[in-house]
Structure 1
Amino acid sequence: MPSTVTWAQGPDGANMRYSKEALQQALQTREQYDLSGLRFAIAKSTLRAGAELLDDVAAVLKRFPDWSLRIVVHTDASGGEEANQRLSQERAEMIKAALVKRGVPADRLIASGVGQMMPVASNNTAEGRALNRRVELVRVTDSPEAKKLLKAMSDYLAAQKALSFSYDSNLQVITSADQKLGLSSSGTVNLSRPDKVHTTRSGGFVDTETLFDGKTLTLLGKNVNKYTQVEMQGTVDQLIDELKDKHGLPLPAADLLMTNAYDELMKGVYDAKDLGSGVINGQECDSLAFRKDDVDFQIWVAHGEQPYPCRLVITSSKVKGGPEYSLQIRDWKSGDGVPADDFAFKNATNAEKADVADLKQTLSELPDNFVVGDKK
């Protein structure tokens, strides 16, 4: 499914003649241009035709010195996936080098090869494969201020030996009939670095509690009165990775709880914007927006000496309908203000011990009547 309108066509669908003005207008108004006309040698990064188009791209970038450009190269599905990924990256690097040779500073250019992963047409026909072999120019914003504010938040969070907060979350899912449905929950987080955390999450379909004391992880499904325990020694960072990668059960606000939150959040980011101020729960915040290949995320960071996250919104950009997860934080506390907790499981309700596999569906935010599709 096409993700963008191809600027090689007009509003009525008629083909338009390429021009430098059309390229400039596209990048100004839509922030993207499909650079038709570049032709590569088969399975190589050598340009066969269209090099003169890069003269126009360089000229436009010189006219607008504040612009940065992401060069996204796609292939069809001929050949292997890994080979196509490598080939597309080599072609993107070649285009970047050609623009640098034409006087564009290298730090204004991002070369991204995505291989065959984002087709706009069927690969079963020659016409479809030709459409899938394309080069997109995407104007990006690389705000140093946005990165600086996010890094300040991350450093502040990592420096807190103890912190706690309450949160409200909403997971929007897309049905097979393209209806967007919201599943809401609330909970609490109490963290003591380096190796203790206690979280709760309660909603219409889920009521769970997670405790970790540096030696034992306990997962409690309150709605079924069952629990499981796993012997595990390590830090909260290691726990987060283990839950996510091994069990598919991420903690609430997991990336924000890690000591390297900035690095985790910035993986794959190619666009960063500082949107100015906003207000969340009466707290003035900096509003920051970031883009990756598969998701957009926006985060609001509190002003003042405690730059904690007030709200986080993550939106899928590659799934139809743009499913979204949001987390809004309240009752933020740190240091001596954090309520006391020994992070030990008491089993006050005489819960039955079970295997983690038996509890996994109970710990999920999705109810039993939701069936997850292969692609969704």
Structure 2
Amino acid sequence: MNTWKRRNVAAWFALGVLALLVTVSTDAQAQAPAVDPAAVQILKRMTDFLDGLQQFSVKTQSIIEELHVSGHRVDYDLSADVTVKRPNKLRAARTGELMNQRFFYDGKTLALYNPSQKVYATKTAPETIEKTIDFARETVGILLPAADLLYRNAFPLLMQDVTLAAVVGKTFVGGVKCDHVLFSRPGVDFQVWVAEGERPWPRKYVVTETAIPSMPSITTFLSDWNLAPAVDEARFSFVPPKDAQAISFLPPVTTGVSNR
């Protein structure tokens, strides 16, 4: 066989092997379950761990995608220091391009304070963190990125109407080895990067609105978890500074990206 023929045979053989690999890969994907139990187990392990925490603090750094008036995508950064004491205490100091706010919930009252403008608003709130997060979003339009991770018994909430669950792989987030999992339900995809080991806390969380053509998303990095923060009850109650002015909450404004 001459050199030209050998090269042709080798090329056709290579193409045949490639086609076989593609077929095998496609078949494997077709046979893979839409909801992978391994992905579900990783999520369940994370939520069980978070459920067991009576109090904690965490730092978050969020990237919120929006459409500029020009029609182009822009990213807004929002950092927050969050302290939680279950069942009914929550405080968050939030700073970024979109806001400079202090969020207080003491089990009875929700308060929002803007130190830059020295204005604040208060409203009677429900009796739990979970109900207050819903109330804040639906009634006064306060967006709390990754708020669903603060819910106690978050697993059924996150798994509601899920049509796809997949293990994407393993990677490092902030130097911590994590399982990367993907979930999808009508209108929304979300991804979670869950730390390996005895403390499977979330290190990164991405929520994407697939029902919107631009598919905006919120990406949140979670770090500096503290499971025994020094918590003073007074820390969750808002006492307005003497030079602060009371105002009313504005009605909710649709941001294009949900909390979940």
If the TM-score is normalised by the length of the shorter chain, which range does it land in?
A: 0.7 to 0.9
Give the 5 Å matches for 1:1-376. 28=26, 66-68=31-33, 141-175=34-68, 177-334=70-227, 336=228, 338-342=229-233, 343-348=236-241, 350-357=243-250
Give the Cα separation in 1 of the matches to 2:170 and 2:155: 20
Whether the 8 Å CA contact 1:206–1:223 is kept in 2: the answer is: no
Give the Cα separation in 2 of the matches to 1:349 and 1:173: 36
**1:159-217 Cα distance to aligned partner (Å, 9 max, x none):** 10001111110111134654211011111110000000001111123101111111111
CA RMSD of aligned residues (A): 2.4
Aligned position for 1:135: none
Tell me the amino acid that sits aligned with residue 232 of structure 2: D
Tell me the amino acid that sits aligned with residue 137 of structure 2: K
Whether the 8 Å CA contact 1:187–1:202 is kept in 2: the answer is: yes
1:67 Cα deviation after fit: 4.2
**1:300-345 Cα distance to aligned partner (Å, 9 max, x none):** 01111111110001122232232111110111111x2x13232121
Structure having the larger proportion of residues in strand: 2
Tell me the amino acid that sits aligned with residue 77 of structure 2: S
Give the Cα separation in 2 of the matches to 1:160 and 1:167: 18
State, as a whole percentage, how many aligned pairs show the same letter. 28
Whether the 8 Å CA contact 1:161–1:192 is kept in 2: the answer is: yes
Tell me the amino acid that sits aligned with residue 303 of structure 1: E
Pick 1 or 2: higher relative contact order, CA cutoff 8 A, min separation 6.
Answer: 2
TM-score, normalised via structure 2 length:
0.81
Aligned position for 2:13: none
Which deviates more, 339-348 or 147-156? 339-348
1:233 Cα deviation after fit: 4.3
Count of residues paired in the alignment: 230
Give the Cα separation in 2 of the matches to 1:207 and 1:284: 32
Whether the 8 Å CA contact 1:269–1:292 is kept in 2: the answer is: yes
Give the Cα separation in 2 of the matches to 1:307 and 1:286: 9
Give the Cα separation in 1 of the matches to 2:172 and 2:83: 24
**1:61-102 Cα distance to aligned partner (Å, 9 max, x none):** xxx6x345xxxxxxxxxxxxxxxxxxxxxxxxxxxxxxxxxx
1:261 Cα deviation after fit: 1.3
- Specify the SS of the correspondent of 1:306: coil
**1:243-282 Cα distance to aligned partner (Å, 9 max, x none):** 1222222333210000121122122210000122111111
Tell me the amino acid that sits aligned with residue 341 of structure 1: D
Tell me the amino acid that sits aligned with residue 339 of structure 1: A
TM-score, normalised via structure 1 length:
0.57
Whether the 8 Å CA contact 1:287–1:301 is kept in 2: the answer is: yes
Whether the 8 Å CA contact 1:268–1:292 is kept in 2: the answer is: yes
Tell me the amino acid that sits aligned with residue 65 of structure 2: Q
